[in-house]
Protein backbone atom coordinates (compact mmCIF):
# COMPACT_ATOMS: atom_id res chain seq x y z
CA UNK A 1 0.00 0.00 0.00
CA UNK A 2 1.41 3.36 -1.08
CA UNK A 3 1.09 6.50 1.04
CA UNK A 4 0.45 9.87 -0.58
CA UNK A 5 0.47 13.19 1.27
CA UNK A 6 -1.57 16.10 -0.02
CA UNK A 7 -1.17 19.49 1.74
CA UNK A 8 -4.23 21.60 0.97
CA UNK A 9 -5.36 25.19 1.48
CA UNK A 10 -8.90 24.37 0.25
CA UNK A 11 -8.47 26.38 -2.95
CA UNK A 12 -9.81 25.35 -6.35
CA UNK A 13 -6.35 24.37 -7.55
CA UNK A 14 -6.02 22.14 -4.47
CA UNK A 15 -9.11 20.23 -5.51
CA UNK A 16 -7.85 20.02 -9.10
CA UNK A 17 -4.70 18.35 -7.78
CA UNK A 18 -6.71 15.81 -5.77
CA UNK A 19 -8.88 15.04 -8.78
CA UNK A 20 -5.77 14.61 -10.95
CA UNK A 21 -4.22 12.18 -8.45
CA UNK A 22 -7.40 10.12 -8.11
CA UNK A 23 -7.43 9.59 -11.88
CA UNK A 24 -3.67 9.07 -12.15
CA UNK A 25 -3.62 6.36 -9.45
CA UNK A 26 -7.07 4.93 -10.17
CA UNK A 27 -5.75 1.36 -10.35
CA UNK A 28 -3.15 1.66 -7.57
CA UNK A 29 -4.05 0.97 -3.90
CA UNK A 30 -2.97 3.80 -1.62
CA UNK A 31 -3.57 5.76 1.58
CA UNK A 32 -4.17 9.42 0.79
CA UNK A 33 -3.43 11.82 3.66
CA UNK A 34 -5.15 15.18 3.20
CA UNK A 35 -3.24 17.69 5.35
CA UNK A 36 -4.17 21.24 6.29
CA UNK A 37 -1.66 23.32 8.25
CA UNK A 38 -2.60 26.47 10.17
CA UNK A 39 -0.31 28.97 11.85
CA UNK A 40 0.71 28.01 15.39
CA UNK A 41 -0.86 31.24 16.69
CA UNK A 42 -4.28 29.93 15.60
CA UNK A 43 -4.15 27.02 18.00
CA UNK A 44 -4.38 26.86 21.78
CA UNK A 45 -2.61 23.50 21.67
CA UNK A 46 0.72 22.48 20.26
CA UNK A 47 -0.75 20.27 17.53
CA UNK A 48 -3.92 18.50 16.52
CA UNK A 49 -4.46 15.65 14.10
CA UNK A 50 -7.42 13.37 13.50
CA UNK A 51 -8.54 10.46 11.35
CA UNK A 52 -11.89 11.71 10.06
CA UNK A 53 -12.93 15.36 9.85
CA UNK A 54 -15.76 15.38 12.35
CA UNK A 55 -14.04 16.88 15.40
CA UNK A 56 -11.93 19.95 14.93
CA UNK A 57 -11.24 23.01 17.02
CA UNK A 58 -11.61 25.20 13.93
CA UNK A 59 -15.13 24.97 12.48
CA UNK A 60 -14.07 26.44 9.14
CA UNK A 61 -11.34 23.84 8.71
CA UNK A 62 -13.77 21.13 9.76
CA UNK A 63 -16.31 22.26 7.15
CA UNK A 64 -13.70 22.50 4.42
CA UNK A 65 -12.33 19.03 5.11
CA UNK A 66 -15.85 17.60 5.24
CA UNK A 67 -16.60 19.16 1.86
CA UNK A 68 -13.41 17.74 0.36
CA UNK A 69 -14.22 14.25 1.62
CA UNK A 70 -17.76 14.48 0.24
CA UNK A 71 -16.35 15.40 -3.19
CA UNK A 72 -13.79 12.60 -2.95
CA UNK A 73 -16.55 10.05 -2.30
CA UNK A 74 -18.25 11.17 -5.50
CA UNK A 75 -15.01 10.99 -7.49
CA UNK A 76 -13.00 8.00 -6.22
CA UNK A 77 -14.11 4.53 -7.34
CA UNK A 78 -11.29 2.26 -6.15
CA UNK A 79 -12.24 0.54 -2.88
CA UNK A 80 -8.54 0.26 -2.06
CA UNK A 81 -8.21 4.04 -1.89
CA UNK A 82 -8.29 5.23 1.72
CA UNK A 83 -8.52 8.94 2.53
CA UNK A 84 -7.40 10.27 5.91
CA UNK A 85 -7.66 13.88 7.11
CA UNK A 86 -4.90 15.59 9.11
CA UNK A 87 -4.95 19.04 10.68
CA UNK A 88 -1.86 20.52 12.30
CA UNK A 89 -0.34 23.82 13.37
CA UNK A 90 3.11 25.26 12.70
CA UNK A 91 5.55 25.74 9.86
CA UNK A 92 4.29 24.06 6.67
CA UNK A 93 7.63 22.57 5.61
CA UNK A 94 8.39 21.29 9.12
CA UNK A 95 4.95 19.69 9.43
CA UNK A 96 5.25 18.08 5.99
CA UNK A 97 8.71 16.76 6.81
CA UNK A 98 7.43 15.25 10.09
CA UNK A 99 4.38 13.74 8.41
CA UNK A 100 6.53 12.16 5.70
CA UNK A 101 8.50 10.40 8.43
CA UNK A 102 5.55 9.44 10.67
CA UNK A 103 3.27 8.19 7.90
CA UNK A 104 6.00 6.69 5.69
CA UNK A 105 4.95 8.87 2.77
CA UNK A 106 6.02 7.73 -0.71
CA UNK A 107 4.81 10.79 -2.64
CA UNK A 108 3.82 14.38 -1.86
CA UNK A 109 1.18 15.95 -4.08
CA UNK A 110 0.87 19.73 -4.33
CA UNK A 111 -1.34 21.95 -6.44
CA UNK A 112 -0.06 25.29 -7.71
CA UNK A 113 -2.04 28.38 -8.64
CA UNK A 114 -2.26 29.98 -12.07
CA UNK A 115 -0.86 33.32 -13.08
CA UNK A 116 -3.47 35.30 -11.14
CA UNK A 117 -2.43 33.75 -7.86
CA UNK A 118 1.35 33.96 -7.97
CA UNK A 119 3.35 37.15 -7.72
CA UNK A 120 6.91 35.87 -7.84
CA UNK A 121 7.37 32.42 -9.33
CA UNK A 122 5.43 29.85 -11.31
CA UNK A 123 5.70 27.22 -8.59
CA UNK A 124 5.30 29.48 -5.58
CA UNK A 125 7.46 29.61 -2.46
CA UNK A 126 5.71 26.79 -0.55
CA UNK A 127 6.11 24.31 -3.40
CA UNK A 128 9.70 25.35 -3.99
CA UNK A 129 10.53 24.93 -0.29
CA UNK A 130 8.98 21.46 -0.17
CA UNK A 131 10.77 20.52 -3.38
CA UNK A 132 14.20 21.51 -2.09
CA UNK A 133 13.88 20.90 1.68
CA UNK A 134 11.79 17.73 2.03
CA UNK A 135 13.41 14.46 1.01
CA UNK A 136 10.42 12.85 -0.69
CA UNK A 137 9.19 12.49 -4.26
CA UNK A 138 6.93 15.41 -5.18
CA UNK A 139 4.24 15.66 -7.85
CA UNK A 140 3.34 19.29 -8.67
CA UNK A 141 -0.04 19.78 -10.35
CA UNK A 142 -0.60 23.19 -12.01
CA UNK A 143 -4.05 24.70 -11.81
CA UNK A 144 -4.62 24.28 -15.56
CA UNK A 145 -3.55 20.63 -15.76
CA UNK A 146 -6.07 18.26 -17.33
CA UNK A 147 -7.10 15.46 -14.92
CA UNK A 148 -6.22 12.56 -17.22
CA UNK A 149 -3.50 9.96 -17.65
CA UNK A 150 -0.41 11.39 -19.37
CA UNK A 151 0.44 9.84 -22.71
CA UNK A 152 3.78 11.55 -23.29
CA UNK A 153 6.32 12.10 -20.49
CA UNK A 154 9.49 14.14 -20.87
CA UNK A 155 12.63 13.52 -18.81
CA UNK A 156 14.98 16.50 -19.27
CA UNK A 157 18.53 15.69 -18.23
CA UNK A 158 22.04 17.03 -18.72
CA UNK A 159 23.54 13.60 -17.86
CA UNK A 160 25.54 15.17 -15.04
CA UNK A 161 24.26 12.80 -12.37
CA UNK A 162 24.33 9.03 -11.94
CA UNK A 163 20.83 7.55 -12.02
CA UNK A 164 20.33 5.47 -8.89
CA UNK A 165 18.05 2.45 -8.79
CA UNK A 166 15.40 4.37 -6.82
CA UNK A 167 15.28 7.09 -9.49
CA UNK A 168 15.06 4.63 -12.37
CA UNK A 169 12.45 2.54 -10.58
CA UNK A 170 10.30 5.63 -9.91
CA UNK A 171 10.43 6.57 -13.60
CA UNK A 172 9.61 3.00 -14.59
CA UNK A 173 6.65 2.85 -12.18
CA UNK A 174 5.16 6.02 -13.62
CA UNK A 175 5.53 4.60 -17.12
CA UNK A 176 3.75 1.40 -16.07
CA UNK A 177 0.94 3.25 -14.27
CA UNK A 178 0.25 5.56 -17.18
CA UNK A 179 1.34 3.34 -20.10
CA UNK A 180 2.97 6.52 -21.43
CA UNK A 181 5.94 7.03 -23.73
CA UNK A 182 9.08 8.50 -22.16
CA UNK A 183 11.13 11.05 -24.06
CA UNK A 184 14.62 11.60 -22.63
CA UNK A 185 15.70 15.13 -23.55
CA UNK A 186 19.27 16.38 -23.40
CA UNK A 187 20.07 20.02 -24.15
CA UNK A 188 23.58 21.21 -24.90
CA UNK A 189 24.91 24.51 -26.12
CA UNK A 190 25.91 24.56 -29.78
CA UNK A 191 29.23 22.82 -30.48
CA UNK A 192 29.54 21.57 -26.87
CA UNK A 193 30.08 17.80 -26.56
CA UNK A 194 29.28 15.51 -23.65
CA UNK A 195 32.24 14.71 -21.41
CA UNK A 196 33.15 11.15 -20.42
CA UNK A 197 31.05 10.97 -17.18
CA UNK A 198 28.06 12.37 -19.06
CA UNK A 199 28.47 9.76 -21.79
CA UNK A 200 28.70 6.98 -19.20
CA UNK A 201 25.52 8.19 -17.46
CA UNK A 202 23.74 8.42 -20.80
CA UNK A 203 24.69 4.84 -21.74
CA UNK A 204 23.62 3.52 -18.33
CA UNK A 205 20.22 5.22 -18.62
CA UNK A 206 19.69 3.97 -22.17
CA UNK A 207 20.65 0.41 -21.22
CA UNK A 208 18.12 0.42 -18.38
CA UNK A 209 15.31 1.79 -20.52
CA UNK A 210 16.13 -0.55 -23.41
CA UNK A 211 15.87 -3.55 -21.13
CA UNK A 212 12.54 -2.65 -19.52
CA UNK A 213 10.81 -0.27 -21.95
CA UNK A 214 12.32 -0.98 -25.34
CA UNK A 215 9.34 0.21 -27.36
CA UNK A 216 8.14 3.08 -25.20
CA UNK A 217 11.09 5.44 -24.86
CA UNK A 218 13.13 7.66 -27.17
CA UNK A 219 16.24 9.84 -26.90
CA UNK A 220 16.24 13.47 -28.06
CA UNK A 221 19.35 15.66 -28.26
CA UNK A 222 18.80 19.40 -28.65
CA UNK A 223 21.22 22.27 -29.15
CA UNK A 224 20.23 25.63 -27.72
CA UNK A 225 21.84 28.49 -25.81
CA UNK A 226 19.07 28.43 -23.19
CA UNK A 227 17.91 25.12 -21.73
CA UNK A 228 14.58 26.51 -20.55
CA UNK A 229 13.59 27.75 -24.00
CA UNK A 230 14.57 24.44 -25.60
CA UNK A 231 12.55 22.40 -23.09
CA UNK A 232 9.55 24.69 -23.40
CA UNK A 233 9.57 24.36 -27.19
CA UNK A 234 9.99 20.58 -26.94
CA UNK A 235 7.09 20.21 -24.48
CA UNK A 236 4.78 22.21 -26.72
CA UNK A 237 5.86 20.57 -29.99
CA UNK A 238 5.69 17.00 -28.65
CA UNK A 239 2.49 17.60 -26.63
CA UNK A 240 4.11 16.51 -23.38
CA UNK A 241 1.68 15.71 -20.54
CA UNK A 242 4.16 15.36 -17.65
CA UNK A 243 7.76 16.31 -16.92
CA UNK A 244 10.02 14.24 -14.64
CA UNK A 245 13.21 15.64 -13.11
CA UNK A 246 15.70 14.59 -10.44
CA UNK A 247 15.98 16.76 -7.33
CA UNK A 248 19.68 15.93 -7.00
CA UNK A 249 20.30 17.78 -10.24
CA UNK A 250 19.30 21.03 -8.51
CA UNK A 251 21.17 23.41 -10.83
CA UNK A 252 19.38 22.06 -13.88
CA UNK A 253 16.05 22.01 -12.03
CA UNK A 254 16.48 25.64 -10.99
CA UNK A 255 17.24 26.69 -14.57
CA UNK A 256 14.00 25.19 -15.84
CA UNK A 257 11.56 25.83 -13.01
CA UNK A 258 12.64 27.57 -9.84
CA UNK A 259 13.98 30.70 -11.54
CA UNK A 260 10.98 31.11 -13.86
CA UNK A 261 9.14 34.35 -13.10
CA UNK A 262 5.51 35.02 -13.76
CA UNK A 263 6.49 37.34 -16.60
CA UNK A 264 7.44 34.24 -18.58
CA UNK A 265 4.33 32.09 -18.40
CA UNK A 266 5.00 28.77 -20.08
CA UNK A 267 4.23 25.08 -19.95
CA UNK A 268 4.65 25.10 -16.15
CA UNK A 269 1.08 26.41 -15.82
CA UNK A 270 -0.46 23.25 -17.31
CA UNK A 271 2.05 20.36 -17.30
CA UNK A 272 2.52 18.37 -14.04
CA UNK A 273 6.08 18.08 -12.73
CA UNK A 274 7.33 14.98 -10.89
CA UNK A 275 10.49 15.66 -8.87
CA UNK A 276 12.34 12.53 -7.75
CA UNK A 277 14.56 12.18 -4.66
CA UNK A 278 16.98 9.36 -3.99
For residue range 25-56, list pLDDT tens digits in order: 999 999 999 999 987 766 654 444 444 444 44
Looking at the chain, the whole-number percentage of residues with pLDDT higher than 90 is: 48
Containing domain of residue 125, as a range? Answer: 2-142
Domain end, chosen from 122, 142, 162, is at 142
Are residues 77 and 161 located together in one domain of the fold?
no
Are residues 198 and 216 located together in one domain of the fold?
yes
Are residues 135 and 7 located together in one domain of the fold?
yes
Give me the residues of the chain with pLDDT under 50, please. 45-58, 114-123, 261-265
Tell me what pLDDT residue 237 has.
Answer: 92
**Residue 247's CATH number:** 3.40.50.620
Are residues 72 and 158 located together in one domain of the fold?
no
Are residues 167 and 247 located together in one domain of the fold?
yes
pTM score: 0.86
Are residues 123 and 174 located together in one domain of the fold?
no
Tell me if 215 is assigned to some domain. yes
Tell me what pLDDT residue 39 has.
Answer: 79
How many structural domains comprise the chain? 2
Distance between CA atoms of residues 145 and 16, nearest Å? 8
Amino acid sequence: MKNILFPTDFSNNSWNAIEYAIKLFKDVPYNFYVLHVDRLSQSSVESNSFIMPYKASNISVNDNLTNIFARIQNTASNKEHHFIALHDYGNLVDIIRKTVMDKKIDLILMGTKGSSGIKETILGSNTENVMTKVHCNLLVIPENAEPSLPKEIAFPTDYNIFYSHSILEAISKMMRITNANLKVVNITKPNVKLNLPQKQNMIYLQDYLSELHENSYSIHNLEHERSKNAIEGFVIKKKIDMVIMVAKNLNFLQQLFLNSTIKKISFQTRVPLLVLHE
